[in-house]
Amino acid sequence: MFQMIYMATVAGNTLIVVLIVADQHLHTPMYFFLGNLSCLETCYTSTILPRLLASLLTGDRTISVSGCIIQLHFFGSLACTECYLLAAMSYDRYLAICKPLHYSTLMNIRFCLQLAAGLWLIGCLATAIFVLFLSQLIFCGPNEIDHFYCDVIPLMELSCSDTHQVILLDFILVSVFTLSPFLLTMTSHVCIIATILRIPSTTGRQKAFSTCSSHLILLTIFYGSIMIVYLLPK
């Protein structure tokens, strides 16, 4: 079942990227960011599911400390990148709906490329800082992770060192690199909804809202899950 889900995820996202690259009509900022999101989702699932599938197939559930930290680094980097990518997609929709006359000038190809490169770099650097501190911990106690992949809290619970500072750093980084793009995203959508409500025709409001409704659903699921898992104190 997990293999079928993984294959469908990779195939679907790969198809989206291929279509965006092949079709000249899709060479727009909205589809550019959508292609980045598809690449991100493919990498995202590939950091966890192949290792999980191998464990289920062979029965070997062991992983080295370095391998665990590497998996955590890639997972965290991609999660952080997705937060900022969703914020960039919200900003793109804000410009398209609230400032349509300036859209082509503000959201040009060069700016999109620079923005995408910056998002991936921020995600990598943010997690690298945390992983650097995490790698200083000593692991000499229990060696069984109560999880199906190397997440932050289950991994730190195995350490014999004092983890209070690392946990505080984790909370600060998650707050900065999750709440900041979340607030930017919500601000963009508040402006979008306010603009949509001022459109006189019902057809115009429905057309404008249809371009961001699916994005709102995605944001609710993604940010809701992150905040419940990582921001709520025990």
Taking only the tens place, the pLDDT of each residue in 48-60 is 899 999 998 998 8
Taking only the tens place, the pLDDT of each residue in 187-222 is 888 888 888 888 777 777 777 777 777 778 888 888
Q: Is the pTM of this model over 0.75?
A: yes
Which domains are seen in the chain, by residue range?
A: 64-231 (1.20.1070.10)
Burial class (CB in 10 A: 0-12, 13-18, 19+), 199: middle
% of the chain surpassing 90 pLDDT: 18
Q: How far apart are CA 149 and CA 128, in angstroms?
A: 18
Whole-number pLDDT of residue 234: 61
Tokens of 132: 């650097």
Where residue 4 falls among pLDDT bands split at 50, 70, 90? very high
Average pLDDT of every residue of the chain:
85
Taking only the tens place, the pLDDT of each residue in 153-162 is 888 888 888 8
Q: How far apart are CA 16 and CA 159, in angstroms?
A: 42
